[in-house]
């Protein structure tokens, strides 16, 4: 059995936002962040939603790439009905790109990915030898360490 939400009222609000509080002013986030700390149910759903968002953005990017590749292949080899096939490939590319933009704008996926990128950069940074680390500009170092 999955744990129930510890506060149905807050849980319902969070569900309405797809468990995304990144759009809320920081000073108003306190209660919701507190709830995420206490409520395993909402933490689980937040993670699931973000996973779906990121998966969608990656899938649509791959899909757009494949359609573009298909267009290139058709254009190069010019089979019969090349124009029709090219149009189909372009339509597929346009649709994938459109969905990608919608996902990127409507969900916090870009924020999640930026976060993941920063964590990855930090992990690499921490493993660098000190003499190389010293050469990284101060500004960039602060950005990576998230302060």
Terminal Cα distance for the chain, rounded: 39
Given the complex with Zn ion, which of 35 and 103 has the nearer CB atom? 35
**Candidates 4-12, 23-31, 108-116, 126-134; binding stretch for Zn ion (CB under 5 A):** 4-12
Given the complex with Zn ion, which of 8 and 133 has the nearer CB atom? 8
Given the complex with Zn ion, which of 41 and 118 has the nearer CB atom? 41
Instruction: Give the nearest distance from C-beta 15 to Zn ion in angstroms.
Output: 9
* Binding residue count for Zn ion, defined by CB under 5 A: 5
Task: Report the distance separating Cα 138 and Cα 30, nearest Å.
Answer: 31
Question: Which residues does 63 contact at the CB level (< 8 Å), separation at least 6?
Answer: 92, 96
Per-residue contact flags (x/-) with Zn ion for residues 7 to 46, judged by CB under 5 A:
----x---------------------------x-xx----
Instruction: Give the nearest distance from C-beta 47 to Zn ion in angstroms.
Output: 13
Given the complex with Zn ion, which of 7 and 86 has the nearer CB atom? 7
Contact status, residue 60 vs residue 93, Cβ threshold 8 Å:
no
Task: Report the distance separating Cα 54 and Cα 48, nearest Å.
Answer: 10
Per-residue contact flags (x/-) with Zn ion for residues 63 to 92, judged by CB under 5 A:
------------------------------
- Where does this chain bind Zn ion (CB under 5 A)? 5, 11, 39, 41-42
């Amino acid at each position: 059995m999955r744990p129930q939400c510890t506060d149905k009222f807050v849980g319902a609000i969070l569900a309405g936002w797809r468990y995304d509080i990144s759009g809320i002013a920081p000073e108003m986030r306190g209660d919701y962040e507190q709830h995420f700390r206490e409520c395993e149910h909402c933490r689980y759903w937040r993670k699931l939603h973000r996973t779906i968002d990121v998966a969608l953005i990656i899938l649509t990017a791959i899909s757009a790439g494949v359609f573009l590749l298909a267009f290139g292949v058709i254009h190069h080899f010019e089979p019969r009905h090349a124009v029709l096939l090219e149009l189909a490939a372009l339509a597929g590319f346009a649709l994938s790109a459109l969905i990608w933009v919608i996902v990127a704008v409507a969900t916090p996926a870009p924020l999640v990915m930026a976060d993941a990128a920063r964590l990855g950069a930090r992990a690499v940074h921490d493993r660098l030898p000190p003499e190389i680390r010293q050469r990284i500009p101060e500004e960039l170092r602060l950005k990576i360490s998230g302060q």
